[in-house]
């Protein structure tokens, strides 16, 4: 029996993302009206809207639940039916589903958005409350029974722009705002290279309050350029912060997942996003921190240059990974990705297969897929990645997370 890893998921409820980027992400601005107004128009648009509307309602109905309920729902409807008797993929039986929820730091500082309105600043959503809700949800989920088919190892979302390097103190000497150094120490100071998986499992579901949430709560770090994170900023002060994170993660072998590509929850404009969320933006990081484990997420890209950029870095550097998040909504999509990898020389394509991680992007993926289990089944039955699926769902993720 083996563990099936899904390294790229999101479990948040509707209160966590800021509303503007959420509406943009779901592309629902127009639907907010369509849901209440009967649609008159060409039949084809009507059908298109109807099926899109179904996906959106499916997504919203899932995300409107508490995190513990979301976990219970997928356990009952998706995970148990697949994994209870062993999920068979290419002669391997998987009896546990390990999911990695990626926390996104929506905690951007206030900026002015519109002078025409009175409350004219961008919403500020502290990542702290998302973390509390996530761990409370996980604890609630494990309360009833400990022997579960789902294991949950979250990644902490950090946007260095929202922090200083050092703590700020008030006049009484209490921490007013936590700095990057303390934040990393809080969650990763005792994060050893050995027995990491064991200790993560041991800590799973145990949550009292955020103050006592220490090492082994998270198993990696999530960075997210569409919300303004710059992997290699020009500004000295900003550079110092990101380099501190890279040095720390490299030393402690903490894996980083970063979003590649335009879209997602995006608060910067497209042109800025194209720059910050490109694989090229990581060239200097990779050069200076060759041992740093980075997952350049979303191998499938609309912009083929981005996909080429990801694959180029993988071939050149041994610690660069990528994942399949938000792709594979039909069999063809996986086959197309596989075809592109096969164009490389045998040795290079092998390097690539050893660095691809399975990721679903669930629950965001509900925008294009009816359920978690349907996504897993499409992957399992795909002709792509033939005889390499064990690498993608088990071997590579274990290396990325724990090696």
Nearer to Zn ion, 230 or 361 (CB): 361
Q: Provide the minimum distance between the beta carbon of 119 and Zn ion in the complex, in angstroms, as a whole number.
A: 29
Q: What is the dihedral of CA 218, 141, 369, 23, to 10 degrees?
A: -70
Could you say whether residue 18 binds Zn ion (CB under 5 A)? no
Please, which residues have CB within 8 angstroms of residue 342's CB and are 6 or more apart in sequence?
Answer: 349
* CB neighbour list of residue 368: distance below 8 Å, 6 or more residues apart: 55, 326, 329
DSSP code, position 303? S
Burial 129-167 (b: 16+ CB within 10 A, else e): ebbebbbbbbbbbbeeeeebbbbbbbbbbbbbbbbeeeb
* Shortest Å, Cβ 53 to Zn ion: 23
Q: Between residue 358 and residue 397, which ones bind Zn ion under the rule CB under 5 A?
A: 361
Which of these, 338, 314, 102, lies nearest to 222 by C-alpha position?
Answer: 102
Binding mask 342-361 for Zn ion (x = CB under 5 A): -------------------x
- Least separation in angstroms between CB 116 and Zn ion: 33
Q: How many residues bind Zn ion (CB under 5 A)?
A: 1
Inter-residue contact 25 to 17 (CB < 8 Å): yes
> Which of 191/228 has CB closer to Zn ion?
228
**Could you tell me if 7 and 100 are in contact, meaning their C-beta atoms sit under 8 angstroms apart?**
yes
Complex with Zn ion: residue 293 or 298, whichever CB lies closer: 298
Question: Rounded to 5, what percent of the chain is helix, strand, coil?
Answer: 45, 15, 40
Whichever of 298 and 351 has its CB closer to Zn ion, that residue is: 298
Least Cβ distance, residue 297 to Zn ion (angstroms): 7
Choose between 133 and 361: whose C-beta lies nearer to Zn ion: 361
Q: Which is nearer to Zn ion, 6 or 361 (CB)?
A: 361
Q: CB of 364: closest distance to Zn ion in angstroms?
A: 6
DSSP string over 208-238: S-GGG--TTS-SEEEE-GGGT--SS-SSHHH
CB of 227 to Zn ion, least distance (A): 12
The footprint of Zn ion (CB under 5 A) covers: 361
């Amino acid at each position: 029996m083996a563990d099936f890893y899904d390294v790229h998921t999101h479990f948040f409820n509707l209160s966590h993302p800021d509303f503007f980027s959420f509406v943009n992400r779901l592309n629902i601005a127009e639907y907010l009206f369509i849901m209440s107004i009967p649609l008159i128009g060409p039949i084809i648009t009507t059908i298109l809207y109807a099926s899109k509307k179904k996906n959106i309602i499916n997504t919203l109905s899932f995300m409107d639940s508490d995190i513990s309920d979301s976990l219970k729902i997928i356990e009952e409807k998706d995970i148990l039916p697949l994994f209870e008797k062993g999920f068979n993929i290419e002669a391997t039986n998987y009896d546990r589903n390990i999911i990695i929820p990626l926390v996104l730091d929506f905690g951007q500082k206030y900026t002015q958005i519109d002078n025409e309105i009175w409350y004219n600043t961008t919403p500020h959503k502290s990542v702290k409350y998302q973390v509390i809700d996530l761990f409370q949800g996980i604890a609630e989920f494990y309360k009833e029974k400990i022997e579960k088919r789902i294991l949950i190892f979250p990644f902490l979302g950090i946007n260095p722009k929202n922090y200083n390097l050092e703590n700020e103190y008030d006049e009484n000497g209490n921490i007013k705002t936590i700095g990057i150094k303390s934040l990393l120490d809080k969650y990763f100071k005792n994060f050893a290279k050995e027995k990491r998986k064991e200790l993560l499992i041991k800590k799973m579901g145990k949550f009292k309050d955020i103050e006592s949430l220490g090492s082994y709560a998270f198993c990696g770090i999530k960075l997210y350029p569409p919300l303004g994170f710059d992997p290699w900023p020009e500004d000295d002060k900003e550079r110092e912060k990101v380099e501190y994170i890279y040095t720390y993660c490299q030393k402690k072998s903490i894996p980083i997942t970063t979003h590649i590509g335009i879209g997602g929850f995006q608060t910067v404009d497209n042109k800025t996003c194209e720059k910050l969320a490109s694989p090229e933006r990581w060239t200097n990081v990779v050069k200076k921190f060759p041992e740093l484990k980075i997952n350049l997420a979303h191998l499938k890209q609309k912009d083929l240059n981005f996909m080429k950029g990801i694959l180029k870095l993988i071939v050149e550097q041994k610690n660069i990974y990528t994942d399949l998040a938000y792709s594979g909504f039909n069999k063809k999509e996986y086959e197309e990705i596989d075809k592109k990898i096969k164009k490389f020389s045998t040795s290079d394509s092998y390097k690539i297969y050893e660095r691809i991680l399975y990721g679903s992007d669930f629950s965001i993926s509900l925008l294009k897929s009816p359920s978690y289990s349907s996504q897993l089944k499409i992957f399992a039955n795909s002709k792509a990645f033939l005889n390499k699926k064990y690498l993608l769902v088990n071997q590579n993720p274990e290396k990325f997370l724990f090696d």
